[in-house]
Structure 1
Amino acid sequence: MEETRTSRSAPRPPSGDHPAEPSPFNLANAFTFLRVLLVPVIGWLLATSAADASGATPAARWWAFGIFTFAAATDTIDGEVARRLVGVTRWGQLADPLADKLLIIGALAILAALGELPWWAVGVIVAREAAVTWLRARLVRDRGVVMPASSWGKVKTVTQVAAVTLYLYPGIPDPVREAALVIAVVATVGSGLEYAVRIQRRSRAEVGGEGRGGG
């Protein structure tokens, strides 16, 4: 998701030509937008399943699990479509990680509202994602740079998706779910700190390069 791929970076033209950026209205960005649209659908299905007093696992719960799994998979799909078919857009580079965050945080918040997981975990993840989004926005605004992904970011995304999936899948023992959530929170905090350190190192390198160049 946010960092499951380094970025939707297009191949650099072999010559000095700079082809026009593809239109943002394309199939890859449609998949990105679809992830956001599916969040309230998942919420409605979970609320419906929670209100079912029959005792059996409601079909709505299985639908919520299936739709979340599909939505998470579209992160890989839209990246492949962008790179291989329709081309990369700046809108897609910025919207893709935001859609990932909304999907995961939305699902976690819905589960917390239903009393299935603690709010503190949601708060930690929201704080990390808000901080990284702010740092990323500053990089784009000040330098026009999208920071490439790291292994920490990929681990964070995988653990978050795994935790949500285990909470959505009916019948998973609580200790397993709770352990997955703790791992996701630790990976989330660690990836946020690693992202901040990389930005700081890059800033120092740029300052050092300017100093040497100015001599």
Structure 2
Amino acid sequence: MRKIVYYTMKLSTESEIVGTWPQLDVPKNYFKVVNNFEILQFREFPSVEPNLDNFILKRAAKLTDLLSSYLPATSIGVFVNQKFKDLIADFYVKNFRFYNCSIITADKDFIKKLAENPYFFLHLIYVNEIVDFSLSVFKDLKTSEIITGNNENQLPMFLSPQKLVLKETPDLFRSPFDVDLLVSQLLKKAIEEANISGVWFEEFTGNEFYIKE
């Protein structure tokens, strides 16, 4: 088996890059909006289109290719522009959907930029089906016992993955048993070479990943 390195995709917080964090504020009266974004979950896609309209670009915020927001959190997904969407079209992204969204701003320059390079909400759900459970190793958090299982149903509820053997290696996906959004070395390089703004990377250390060869 070959070990694989993945990187956690994180959103920038530095004021010189984003202006203020988070860059987006929630729409007014957002709890009263039908099909609001709280229907977005980790395990499955919503049966109806979430309402992601009228997010407000804060006055002090700078416009980056990926935008930060408090709700919905990055653990659910991320606001990305057309440039980022086009870039990842050439890569293998697992269990994802793009939803339309709209962003409000009073800045005329930003309004023009938003028209030329619109934003979408990228939502990703768990990809546990790509894990070969028979070869993977977990830790039972209640007993500290190291365990394995032929499928997810044979494992206890409270566990920590130690070694995950993958059946396939997506370039962008939600980490199994975690909330991190992971990217491959290849996609990380492409994002950096394209000067995608508003994002940075940190090597994922939550567990080890392997691919059977």
Larger strand fraction of residues? 2
**Rg larger in 1 or in 2?**
1
Larger helix fraction of residues? 1
Q: TM-score if structure 2 supplies the norm length?
A: 0.27
Q: TM-score if structure 1 supplies the norm length?
A: 0.27
